A and B are shown apart, each in its own frame.
Chain A
Amino acid sequence: MKQIKRKRDAAALNSRLIRRPIQRMVWLFLLPTFAAFCIGFLYPFLQGVFLSFCKFKVISQWDWVWFGNYIKAFSDSSFLHAFWFTALFAFVSVLFINTLAFAVAYALTQGIKGSNLFRTVFFMPNLIGGIVLGYIWSMIFDGILVKYNTSVVLNSKFGFWGLIILICWQQVGYMMIIYIAGLQAVPEDMLEAARIDGATRWQTLWKVTIPNMMSSFTICIFLTLTNGFKLFDQNLALTAGRPFLQQADGSVIKTTEMLALNIYNSFYSSSGNNRGTAQAKAVLFFVLVAAIGLIQLRSTRKKEVQQ
C-alpha cells in the first residue's frame, strides 16, 4: 500500500480525476504513436544492433560473427580518418556558427533599421535542403576555383572550408533566432543597473548579458555540435568525399568523407560485403553522437546553475 502511494507521488502530476479516464483510452492516445514508434524506430534499432554482430548481405541471411565487425571497423583507416575529419569539422563549425550567430543576433537587437528584413534574409537558407545547398555551392566554388585551375574536389582544404562556409550560410540564421530570443529575455532592469553602475558596453555584454542567456548557448552549441557530427546531405552533394588519398596498398581514404557518409558508403558500396562492418560503424557512430550530446548538455547545464 505504501509502495503504491509512493509510486503515485513520484508521478508528481498524477491526478486521479484525470488519470483514470485517460488511462482507459490508452489505445487512442498512446498506442498509435507507440505502434509507429516501434516500426519506425524501436524494431529497426534493435535489429540494427543485432546485425552489427553479424555478417550479412541481405537481412534474411546472416552469420553471427561476434565482435568481428567492430574489429574490422576499428582497423578501417578510412573510418578513423572520417572520425577525425568529422571531429575537426564539428569543432570548427560550432565555433564559427555560434560566434557569427551571436554577433549577428547582438547587432540586430540594437534597434537598427531593417532588423526584421535582415533577420528574414539570414534565416532563409535554413529552409533549403542539404542536397540542393550542396549543389548550389559546389557550382559557386567551382566557378571561382576554376579560374585558378583547381576545384573544390581537388584539395581537401577547399573541401573542408567549403563545407564550413556552406554550413555557416545555412545555420547561422537558425542559431541567430535562438540567440535573439535569448537576448530579448535578458531582464531589462539588470541591464539598466549595469548602465547606472557605469559599466561599458563590453562589460555589460560579458558580465550581464551572456551569463543570463546561458541556456541559449547550451541549446545552440548542442544543436550545432550534433548537426556537425551528423552532417550527410551537404557532404554528399558538395564533395562526396573527394579528393581521395591514394594509399600505397591500393585502398583509398576519402579525405573529406565524414562519418555519416562513410557509413553510407560502406553499406552501399558495390561489393556489398561490408554490410556488417557498416552496421557496426553505425552503432559506434550512435554511441558517439549520444555521448557527445549528453556530456555537452550536462556540462553546460552545470554552468547555468552556477550562474
Chain B
Amino acid sequence: MRNTLKTREDRRKMVLTVVFAVICIIYVLPILIVLINSFKSNAAVNTETFALPNEDTFMGLQNYIKGMTFGSYPFIKAVFYSLFITIVSSALILLCTSMAAWYVARVGSLFSKIVYYLCVFSMVVPFQMVMFTLSRTANKLHLDTPWTIPVVYLGFGAGLAVFMFAGFVKSIPLEIEEAAAIDGCGPLRTFFLVVLPMMKPTFISVGVLEIMWVWNDFLLPFLVLDINDYRTIPIVVQYLKGSYGQVDMGATMALILLSIIPVIIFYLCCQKHIIKGVAAGAVKG
C-alpha cells in the first residue's frame, strides 16, 4: 500500500519533469530562432524564418562581422556605454539611496518625512509623465552623456530604492547602532561598518532590480542622451529596425543575439542572488 502510493507519487513527478522539460525547450525556442537566423542571409530571415540555414543561405560569421560595423554606429561602443551606464548608475543608486534611507529612517524630522513620502509618491509616477520635461532638464544641466546620466537615473530611480532600504532599516533593531554610537562610532562608521553589512540582502535585491531596469531601459536614454554620440544597446536595436532603405535582417539578428549574451552570462553567474533578490524584494515590497 505504502509502496504503491510512493510509486504513484514518483510517476507523477516523472511526468511533471517531462512536461516541464518540453515546456522549457519551447521557452527557449525564440532565442534559438534568433541564433539560427543570425547565421542566415538577409533575405532568408524573412522568407524562411524557421528553416535551418542551408548551403545557399548560410553566411557563417559574416552577419556578426557586419553587425559589429553596421550602419553609422559601431556596436561595440553601444555595449561599452550600456555597461558603463548600468554599472555606474546602479552603484550610485545603491550607495546614495542606502545612505539617504538610513537618514530618513533614523531621523524623524519634517524634512526627512517629506523626502520619504515624495519617494513613495514617485514610485507610482509613470515615466511618460516626466519624459519631456526630464529630457529637457537633463540637457540644460548637461546630464546628457553616459558619464552624467547616472545622476538622472539616481533621481528617477531613487523612490523605489529609498523605500525598500528604509523599510529594511526600520526592521532592524536600534540597539546595535546605539551600541556602536556608545563605543564612539560616528555616523559614518556606524553606517559603513554596522548598518551596511546588515543591509546586504536588501542591497542585493535593490541592485538586481536597478541593474535589470537600467540595462534594458530604452526610453530614458533615448530621450536624455545625446543620440548622435551615445547610444545604448536598446537604442541601437531600435535604430536598426527603423531605418530607411538599409535594414539588414541577418545583421540585426546577430546584434540581438550579441545583446542577449552578456545578460545571460550575468544571469548564470549571479543566478542565486538574482532569484533571491527578486524574491526578497517582493516579500518586503
Do any CB atoms of chain A lie under 8 A from CB atoms of chain B in the complex? yes
* Residue ranges of A at the interface with B (Cβ–Cβ < 8 Å): 7-8, 10-15, 17-19, 21-26, 28-30, 32-34, 36-45, 47-48, 51, 59, 107-108, 110-114, 117-132, 135-137, 139-140, 142-143, 169, 174, 177-178, 180-182, 185, 215-216, 219-220, 223, 226, 229-230, 232-233, 236-237, 259-260, 263-264, 267, 275, 278-279, 282-283, 285-286, 289-290, 293-294
List, in ascending order, chain B residues with CB within 8 A of A114's CB.
Answer: 17, 20-21
Q: Are B215 and A40 in contact (CB under 8 A)?
A: no
Known: A18-B181, A29-B99, A43-B137. A37 touches B155 (CB 8 A): yes
**Interface 9-residue window, one of B57-65, B69-77, B127-135, B196-204:** B127-135
A112-B20, A226-B124, A279-B132 known; 5 other A-B pairs, CB under 8 Å?
Answer: A18-B178, A113-B17, A129-B234, A135-B237, A229-B126
- Categorize the interface residue count of chain B: 35 or more
Q: Are A140 and B30 in contact (CB under 8 A)?
A: yes
Closest Cβ neighbor of B104 among chain A residues:
A30
List, in ascending order, chain B residues with CB within 8 A of A129's CB.
Answer: 215-218, 233-234, 237, 259
List, in ascending order, chain B residues with CB within 8 A of A48's CB.
Answer: 129-130, 132-133
Known: A15-B106, A114-B20. A47 touches B133 (CB 8 A): yes
List, in ascending order, chain B residues with CB within 8 A of A128's CB.
Answer: 216, 260, 263
A-B pairs with the 10 shortest C-beta distances? Answer: A40-B155, A11-B108, A143-B49, A129-B216, A181-B279, A33-B100, A44-B133, A36-B155, A44-B134, A29-B103
Q: How far is the CA of A270 from the CA of B172 in the complex (A)?
A: 54
B interface, by DSSP: helix, strand, loop or mixed? helix
Known: A18-B181, A114-B20, A260-B126. A219 touches B267 (CB 8 A): no
Q: Are B108 and A7 in contact (CB under 8 A)?
A: yes
Q: How far is the CA of A205 from the CA of B149 in the complex (A)?
A: 48
CB distance from B162 to the nearest CB of A (A): 7
Chain A CB within 8 A of B136 CB: yes
* Residue ranges of B at the interface with A (Cβ–Cβ < 8 Å): 13-14, 16-17, 20-21, 23-24, 27-28, 30-31, 33-34, 37, 45-46, 49-50, 96-97, 99-100, 102-109, 111-112, 115, 118-119, 122, 124-134, 136-138, 141, 143, 151-159, 162, 170, 174, 177-178, 181-182, 186-188, 190-191, 212, 215-219, 233-234, 237-238, 241, 252, 256, 259-260, 263-264, 266-268, 271, 274-275, 278-280, 282-283, 285
Closest Cβ neighbor of A22 among chain B residues:
B187
Known: A114-B21, A121-B24. A33 touches B97 (CB 8 A): yes
Q: Are B103 and A22 in contact (CB under 8 A)?
A: yes
Closest Cβ neighbor of A116 among chain B residues:
B271
Q: Are B137 and A36 in contact (CB under 8 A)?
A: no
CB distance from A151 to the nearest CB of B (A): 11
List, in ascending order, chain B residues with CB within 8 A of A236's CB.
Answer: 238
A-B contact count (CB 8 A): 309
A interface, by DSSP: helix, strand, loop or mixed? helix
**Can you show 25 pairs from A to B with CB atoms below 8 A apart?**
A11-B107, A13-B170, A15-B177, A18-B174, A22-B102, A25-B187, A26-B103, A30-B100, A30-B112, A36-B151, A37-B122, A39-B138, A40-B138, A40-B154, A41-B118, A41-B158, A48-B132, A112-B13, A127-B263, A129-B215, A237-B241, A263-B128, A267-B131, A267-B132, A290-B125
Q: How far is the CA of A283 from the CA of B186 in the complex (A)?
A: 44
